[in-house]
Structure 1
Amino acid sequence: MRRLFHRLSVAAISFAVSTPAVAETIRVGATSGPHAQILEAVVPVAKSRGLDIKIVEFSDGTMINPATDSGEIDANAFQHTPYLDRQNRDRHLDVVSVARTVLMPITAYSKRHATVAGLPRGGEIAIPNDPTNSGRALKLLEGSGLLRLKPGTGFEATVFDIIDNPNGFRITELEAAQIPRVLADVDLGVINTNYAIRAGLDPRKDALLRENELSDYFCLIGVARRNVEQPWVKTLVESFRSDEVKTFIIGTFKGDILAGW
């Protein structure tokens, strides 16, 4: 009887050693397009490290942080810090950044004019209407000399902060995803890179204005504060900020999207 028990014990130990551990599974939210595409490159890297990522694509980015806060998803990778800060404040959320990821420089395009100098007096400029990206767009326009904002105005600038508009440009605020669709109807459109790429625009070749690499708008990985110390957070961050994912970004986006590591 003792011999039989000994054989069973050895067999059980052998089975336990040879059976791979079940990977932990998390759900990570992103908007469709480049953000989700980059996450697809993160998946195999994370899997090799014992973390199974299920990508949850959202058509409405405003729903991602609430889903993260409530636990519907575990993390997200789609937004920059000013956007997260405003969402936390306005929607009473507690989502925090655990890592910097990529920069999708905001850019400006025109189908009517070949250069910014060619913009007519009184021309119409479309910018995103959400608070963080509208300020970002205005700062881009200010940096290019098209208008001037109140001294000390930060990235939460609004059209009411414009103090000098020498060419009388009409600033029209539209939903960010809509601006590529109306580009032919305005003189200049300021467009987030993810929407520009989805619309078939080439930020390197087509943009008349482009945000520089000193931008405060690098994207991030966000998690609910209660999850910050979970072991999977470190694995997710290290997988995203891996050499494999950086190589994918460089090879796929050719400088249109910049890795922040």
Structure 2
Amino acid sequence: MKKLLAGSLLVLSVAVLGACGGEEASSGEAESLVDDGVLTVGVTGGPHEEVVNKVAELAEEQGLEFTIETQVFSDYVMPNVALSEGEIDLNSFQTEPFFDEMNESRGLDLVRVDDTVTFPMGIYSLEYTDIKDLPEGARIGLPSDPTNSGRALALFEQAGLLKVEEGVGLAATILDIAENENNYEFIELDSAQIPRQLNELDAAAINTNFALEAGYNPAEDSIFSESSDSPFVNLVASRTENKDDEAIKQFLELYHSDEVKQFIEEEFSGAIIPSW
């Protein structure tokens, strides 16, 4: 009788363990990003927001099984943090060099899933219409975040305002300025705040999305800008575990559609370039 009871207990134990193992396997399966019926995309205010809203319109018109919602951020750091922490499903706002730097410096497990658009960075001034007219000692603003700072310094070098130490590349900071013959004062500021502080500066490098948001047309108002072959293409990012999710594929198909391309070309008059 004792042997029979022991055998029964053993069978019961195996069954319980098997059930637990089954539950673990089931819970280990990746859930769809749109189980709640919503795909949330983090963007910065302005063009990125407008383009994703256009994608959302198309999703509704075509009867997708989920809706696309935007969550707007006012800086360049939090959209990646929010994505990493699962608060949003995708983000669409950043260039690949910036994305790579954020991923590495903060240890994020994010991945680029495809390209979107290019925003040529420009130099703006409320007082001067030609980059050559900037006076000696001019106060010039540039973004304070590492990648955009290096990008702005490269733009200033193209414009003939300075020379950066050789070999530094996009990692350059104002400490890497090798030549500054006109004694310009370079002031690092938060990217989103630069347009509001332009009246306190002689000139400043401004990212196109923030320039447009402030009412500046890069094609008409910048006094110098990156060329059309700028390497700073923007991208859509996701968590690595979700990169093959069907909802992301559907989102990208809509983003890369002729309708969205036409919207970008008509709405932004060349200030933003479709890059797919």
Q: Structure 2 length as normaliser, TM-score? A: 0.83
- The alpha-carbon deviation at position 187 of structure 1 amounts to 1.3
Q: Matched residues, percent identical?
A: 40
Question: Take 1:210 and 1:56, find their aligned partners in 2: how far apart are those partners?
Answer: 29
Which residues of 2 match residues 147-226 of structure 1 at below 5 A?
147-226=162-241
State the aligned residue count: 240
**Which of 39, 57, 68 is equivalent to 1:26?**
39
Partner of 1:45: 58
Equivalent residue letter for 1:30: V
Asked if residue 64 in structure 1 is aligned to residue 79 in structure 2, the reply is yes
Q: Give matches, 1:49-198, under 5 Å.
A: 50=64, 51-198=66-213
Task: Quote the Cα distance in structure 1 between the aligned partners of 2:187 and 2:275.
Answer: 31
Q: CA deviation at 1:115?
A: 0.8
Distance 1:209 1:96 in 2: 32
Question: Contact between 2:42 and 2:70, CA under 8 Å: does it hold in 1?
Answer: yes
Describe the SS at the equivalent of 2:169: coil
Paired position in structure 2 for 1:9: none
CA contact (8 A) 1:23 1:52 kept: no
The one-character-per-residue Cα deviations of 1:86-109 (angstroms, maximum 9, x if unpaired) are 211222111111111011111111
CA contact (8 A) 1:135 1:155 kept: yes
Question: Which runs of no fewer than 5 residues in structure 2 stay unpaired?
Answer: 1-34
SS at the partner of 1:171? Answer: strand
What pairs with 1:245-260 in structure 2 (closer than 5 Å)?
Answer: 245-260=260-275
**Contact persistence 1:122–1:170 (CA under 8 A):** yes
- Provide runs of 4+ in structure 1 moved above 3 Å: none
CA offsets per residue over residues 105-149 of structure 1, 9 Å max, x none? 111111121211111111111101111111110000011111111
* Contact 1:100/1:221 (8 A) holds in 2: yes
What is the SS of the residue equivalent to 2:170?
coil
Distance 1:181 1:222 in 2: 29
Which structure has the greater CA radius of gyration? Answer: 2
Q: What's the offset of the Cα at 1:241?
A: 1.0
- Root-mean-square deviation over aligned CA pairs: 1.6
Does the aligned pair in 2 maintain the 1:106–1:191 contact within 8 Å?
A: yes
Contact 1:128–1:173 (CA<8 Å) still a contact in 2? yes
